């Protein structure tokens, strides 16, 4: 039995959307395409998050916070050692606390219970798991939205392929990929927060399509985990659950009131109470607003109100409990007690201008402009051809703590943004054809017109929008904050995508081909843009970049530029002194290759530099990895009045350089381990300052050894006094080097190649 649009309905969708209609076999192409898409996206993400090395247990500063928190929780308390959080810790009483939510720390406990070897080395793995979880929930949401748009239509292979491709666009053509550019606590919090929020929205949509207690419980659990990971984006599903609870409560109260009013009527006018109750939702009833918001659960409104109310309060209570333990406050975080405030005048100025807080509605105009401006990219001829624009323009008289490099939703996620606009219009103001019906309980719908079904997503849309408020009101601008907008863009974008695919099936062929070409071009642009921004952040901007990593990127840029634009001058400045740094990735040559420098947008960093007097440049390869003894690299001077530099191969593709005077009774002086690649050509620089006798050994631009007061009688420029790969018999050192050592013809080859083309 079907009912009109405003008649009381008990279930907008008759089937469990997770069980495809009419059989599981029909959904197999969709599932296979989604699985292949997730596998491909994860491969690219793994390449990026590992720094192209596929080493998933590396550690960098600011990547061990959750490990430290997990150890503290295992010890039975929330406070952590002050030194472990650097300047990010917040001082409360006699202890230091982390202001990040505990969920990623809790996920580490099973591993940390059995080993200490991975302390501080789990962030890359955690990011990969969060990335996969996010895409799995996106694929589930995609299936549900597909059911709302198309109903029981059979899934064709072509449609499944497009759905899988769209999932790849979300995974690779959005800020989700960028979050793999660095294994920082900030990126991990963002990615887990988004993944769990998407999971909560998935459960909420499932509940709206077919109400059940398991879906309420799952939605509540995931919303709790989301808000206890990152409160801003996690607030989105909590807001949706709260609005649903209020809507169901309003219906329950209204029905009880209508029933009591009917009972007080005279017997001859009382009629059927059930008909009175039903009529309250008719065309003249005040439940039309609730119907427009998609609140269409079946019977038992009061029961659903209680369940939704509990799962709304659950996340808030858990978050308030943890916050009270740490900061003696239910919801606010005392950022004025953060250690960073003491060393940052900019942070103090931002707090002073905003009554001791970093949140205010006055930041919203600047944030909206920064995150929605369509020109938030800078194009260059240097690979990867896309970089960040200048800092965000401040709107109004507000003091910002940080304006980091950022793109925008419209510029870096263009095709997703367009699809989201289409989906937004369809959800808020759907197109209906005459005679459109919403099917009642136990019935099926044809899927001919998607408008009435998409009303189920309106409150989900409100909640997802609420999840973006936090990043709009904070005194920070950063690329990673675009992640809080992902649930809103994804949900609306899925509606837009499935609706467009559905409509194109009945559209004329020229229009269909044109639209598909436009979508593919914009999708490829978004994928390349996010990959490029990730590489720029990882290899140009991030604070832990080694000179060797800079050297590798600039060398690749020079090669790509020569192949693509060989007949033109490369985009490199040649200057006498370094000017103000340009946008991230800019290059400058000082003099005749006295130095090649790269800009991160704020400072210059050395890529190559000609050595001072008394330096030796070599190319070297390492021998078999099974040799663990010291091997001679250079002998300088004479056996009684000279020195030796040796190298020792360590486990994990690392090497240790050492220095020893050749005088009797001297000990080895070890440097710091550096990364090596077996069989790979490395650039070794050995320099001795003739004024201070300071020795410096660098490998691929990374300093491996520094020692003051070396005892070398002959200069390195005297080839008669330098022996490569062999040294006199010294206990614990082999007589010959097992790899290759060759004098470098040019100590600055990248710079020289760039200047030759100029």
Please, is 336 exposed, middle or buried when counting C-beta atoms within 10 Å of its C-beta (0-12, 13-18, 19+)? middle
Q: Are residues 344 and 294 in the same domain?
A: yes
Tens of pLDDT along 125-143? 999 999 999 999 999 999 9
Cα of first residue to Cα of last residue in the chain, in angstroms, is 79
Same domain membership, residue 442 and residue 329: yes
> Is the same domain home to 588 and 647?
no
- The gap from C-alpha 584 to its chain's centroid, in whole angstroms, comes to 19
Rounded to an integer, the average pLDDT of 294-318 is: 83
- pLDDT above 90: residue 151: no
The answer on 583 and 700 residing in a single domain is: no
Is 472 within 8 Å of 120 (Cβ atoms)? no
Higher pLDDT, 543 or 365: 365
* Residue 631, C-beta contacts closer than 8 angstroms, at least 6 positions apart: 623, 646, 647, 648, 649, 733, 734, 736, 737, 738, 739
Among the three residues 594, 609, 624, which one is the final residue of a domain in this structure?
Answer: 609
Q: In what order do the strands lie in the sheet with 740-743?
A: 702-708, 694-699, 682-689, 615-621, 740-743
Residues 315, 386 within the same domain: yes
Q: What is the mean pLDDT of residues 501-510?
A: 92
The pairing of strands 402-403 and 476-477 is parallel
- Residue 68 in any domain: the answer is yes
Question: In the beta sheet, which residues pair with residue 634?
Answer: 645, 724
Whether the CB-CB separation of 647 and 585 falls below 8 Å is answered with no
Please name every residue paired with 379 in a beta bridge, in sequence order, or none if there are none.
Answer: 386
- How many domains does the chain divide into? 3
Tell me which of 495, 525, 555 is where a domain ends: 525
Spatial contact of 656 and 666, defined as CB atoms under 8 Å apart: no
Q: What DSSP string runs through 346-385? A: HHHHHHHHTTT-SB-GGGHHHHHHHHH-TT--EE-SSTT-
Whether 752 is in a domain gets the answer no
Residue 123 lies in a domain: yes
What was the pLDDT predicted at 567? 72
Q: Which of 653, 65, 655, 267 is closest to 645 using CA atoms? A: 655
Q: What is the pLDDT of residues 224-250, one digit of tens each?
A: 999 999 999 999 999 999 999 998 888
Distance CA 733, CA 649 (A): 12
In angstroms, rounded to a whole number, what is the distance separating the alpha carbons of residues 510 and 602?
49
CA–CA distances in Å: residue 750 to residues 551, 595, 636 = 8, 10, 28
Query: For residue 470, what pLDDT band results from cuts at 50, 70 and 90?
Result: very high
Q: What tokens appear for 422 in the block?
A: 């289409």
d(CA 334, CA 323): 10
Structure tokens at 237: 């599903």
The two beta strands, 641-650 and 631-638, are: antiparallel
Residues 76 and 222 in one domain: yes
Instruction: Grade residue 749 by pLDDT with cuts at 50, 70 and 90.
Output: confident
Of 113, 118, 116, which Cα lies nearest the Cα of 63? 118
Q: Give the list of residues 6+ apart from residue 425 with CB closer than 8 angstroms, or none.
A: none
Provide Rg for the chain, Cα atoms. Answer: 31
User: Domain limits at 126?
Assistant: 24-525
Q: Which of 163-167, 252-256, 554-558, 622-626 has the lowest mean pLDDT?
A: 252-256
What is the pLDDT at residue 662? 78
Greatest CA separation found in the chain? Answer: 123
CB-based contact 548:675 (threshold 8 Å): yes
pLDDT tens per residue, range 661-699? 877 778 888 998 988 877 788 888 888 766 666 778 888
Looking at every residue in the chain, the average pLDDT score rounds to 85
- Residue at 15 is within a domain: no
Q: What is the pLDDT of residue 451?
A: 55
596 and 649 together in one domain: no
Residue found under tokens 């998935």: 202
Residue 584 included in any domain: yes
pLDDT of 117: 93
Strand 378-379 relative to strand 386-387: parallel, antiparallel, unpaired?
A: antiparallel
Helix, strand or coil, per DSSP, at residue 743: strand
Residue with tokens 């980091």: 404
Q: What is the pLDDT of residue 574?
A: 92
Q: Is residue 404 part of a domain?
A: yes
* 8 Å CB contact between 135 and 199: no
Helix axes 157-172, 24-49, angle to 10 degrees: 30
Q: Does one domain contain both 593 and 462?
A: no
The enclosing H or E element of 141 equals helix 123-150
Examine the pLDDT at 589 and tell me if it is beyond 60: yes
Residue 426 is assigned to a structural domain of this protein: yes
* CA proximity to 396, closest of 445, 354, 456: 354
Per-residue pLDDT at 285: 47
CATH code for the domain in which residue 635 is found? 2.60.120.200
User: Are both 445 and 351 inside the same structural domain?
Assistant: yes
Pairing of strands 615-621, 682-689: antiparallel
Query: What tokens were used for 382?
Result: 């240097």
Distance of CA 118 to the CA centre of its chain: 22
Query: Is 459 in the same domain as 496?
Result: yes
In this prediction, what percent of the chain has a pLDDT beyond 70? 85
Note whether 404 and 496 are same-domain residues. Answer: yes
Q: Which pLDDT value is given to residue 429?
A: 81
Cα distances from 683 to residues 438, 593, 622, 657, 680, in angstroms, run 70, 17, 12, 14, 10
Q: Is residue 536 in a domain?
A: no
Residues 667 and 603 in one domain: no
């Amino acid at each position: 039995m079907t009912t009109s649009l405003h008649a009381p309905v008990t279930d907008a969708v008759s089937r469990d959307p997770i069980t495809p209609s009419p059989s599981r076999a029909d959904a197999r192409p969709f599932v296979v395409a989604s699985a292949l898409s997730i596998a491909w996206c994860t491969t690219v993400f793994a390449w990026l998050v590992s720094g192209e090395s596929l080493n998933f247990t590396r550690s960098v500063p600011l990547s061990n916070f959750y490990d430290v928190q997990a150890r503290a929780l295992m010890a039975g308390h929330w406070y952590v050692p002050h030194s472990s959080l650097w300047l990010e810790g917040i001082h409360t009483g006699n202890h230091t606390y982390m202001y990040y939510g505990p969920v990623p720390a809790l996920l580490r406990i099973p591993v940390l219970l059995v080993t200490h070897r991975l302390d501080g080395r789990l962030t890359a793995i955690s990011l990969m798991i969060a990335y996969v979880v996010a895409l799995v929930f996106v694929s589930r949401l995609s299936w549900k939205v597909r059911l709302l748009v198309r109903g029981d239509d059979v899934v064709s292979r072509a449609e499944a392929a497009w759905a899988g491709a769209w999932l790849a666009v979300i995974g690779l053509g959005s800020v989700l990929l960028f979050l793999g550019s660095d294994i920082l606590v900030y990126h991990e919090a963002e990615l887990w927060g988004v993944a769990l929020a998407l999971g909560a929205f998935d459960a909420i949509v499932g509940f709206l399509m077919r109400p059940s207690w398991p879906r309420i419980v799952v939605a509540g659990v995931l919303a709790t985990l989301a808000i206890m990971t990152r409160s801003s984006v996690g607030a989105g599903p909590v807001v949706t659950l709260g609005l649903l609870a209020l809507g169901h409560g309003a219906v329950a109260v209204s029905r009880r009131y209508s029933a009591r009013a009917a009972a007080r009527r005279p017997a001859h006018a009382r009629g059927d109470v059930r008909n009175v109750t039903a009529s309250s939702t008719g065309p003249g009833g005040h439940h039309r607003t609730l119907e427009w918001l998609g609140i269409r659960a079946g019977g038992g409104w009061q029961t659903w109100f209680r369940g939704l109310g509990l799962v709304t309060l659950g996340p808030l209570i858990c978050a308030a409990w943890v916050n009270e333990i740490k900061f003696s406050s239910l919801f606010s975080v005392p950022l004025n007690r953060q250690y960073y405030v003491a060393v940052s005048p900019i942070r103090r100025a931002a707090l002073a201008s905003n009554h001791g807080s970093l949140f205010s509605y006055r930041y919203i105009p600047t944030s909206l402009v920064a995150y929605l401006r369509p020109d938030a990219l800078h194009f260059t001829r240097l690979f990867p051809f896309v970089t960040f624009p200048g800092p965000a323009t401040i709107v109004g008289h507000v003091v910002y703590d940080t304006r980091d490099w950022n793109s925008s939703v419209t510029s870096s996620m263009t095709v997703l943004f367009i699809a989201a606009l289409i989906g937004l219009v369809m959800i808020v103001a759907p197109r209906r054809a005459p005679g459109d019906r919403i099917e009642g309980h136990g019935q099926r719908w044809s899927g001919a017109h998607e408008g009435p079904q998409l009303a189920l997503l309106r409150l989900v849309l409100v909640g997802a929008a609420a999840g973006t408020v936090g990043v709009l009101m904070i005194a920070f601008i950063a690329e990673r904050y675009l992640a809080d907008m992902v649930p809103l863009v994804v949900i609306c974008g899925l509606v837009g995508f499935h609706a467009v695919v559905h409509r194109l099936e009945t559209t004329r062929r020229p229009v269909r081909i044109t639209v598909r070409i436009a979508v593919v071009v914009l999708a490829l642009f978004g994928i390349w843009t996010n990959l490029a921004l990730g590489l720029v952040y990882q290899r140009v901007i991030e604070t832990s970049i080694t000179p060797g990593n800079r050297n590798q990127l600039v060398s690749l840029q020079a090669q790509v530029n020569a192949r693509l634009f060989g007949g033109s001058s490369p985009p490199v400045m040649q200057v006498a002194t370094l000017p103000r740094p340009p946008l991230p990735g800019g290059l400058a040559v000082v003099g005749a290759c006295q130095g090649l420098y790269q800009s991160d947008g704020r400072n210059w960093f050395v890529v190559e530099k000609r050595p001072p007097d008394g330096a030796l440049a070599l190319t070297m390869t390492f021998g078999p990895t099974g040799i663990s003894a010291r091997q001679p690299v250079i002998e300088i001077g004479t056996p009684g009045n000279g020195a030796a530099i040796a190298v020792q191969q360590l486990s994990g593709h690392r090497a240790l350089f050492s220095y020893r005077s050749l005088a009797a009774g001297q000990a080895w002086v070890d440097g710091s381990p550096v990364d090596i690649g077996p069989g790979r050509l490395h650039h070794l620089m050995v320099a001795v300052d003739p004024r201070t006798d300071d020795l410096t050994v660098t490998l691929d631009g990374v300093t491996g050894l520094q020692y003051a007061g070396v005892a070398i009688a002959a200069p390195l420029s005297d080839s008669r006094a330098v022996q490569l790969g062999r040294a006199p018999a010294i206990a614990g050192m082999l007589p010959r080097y097992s790899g290759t050592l060759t004098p470098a013809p040019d100590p600055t080859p990248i710079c020289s190649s760039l200047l030759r083309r100029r």
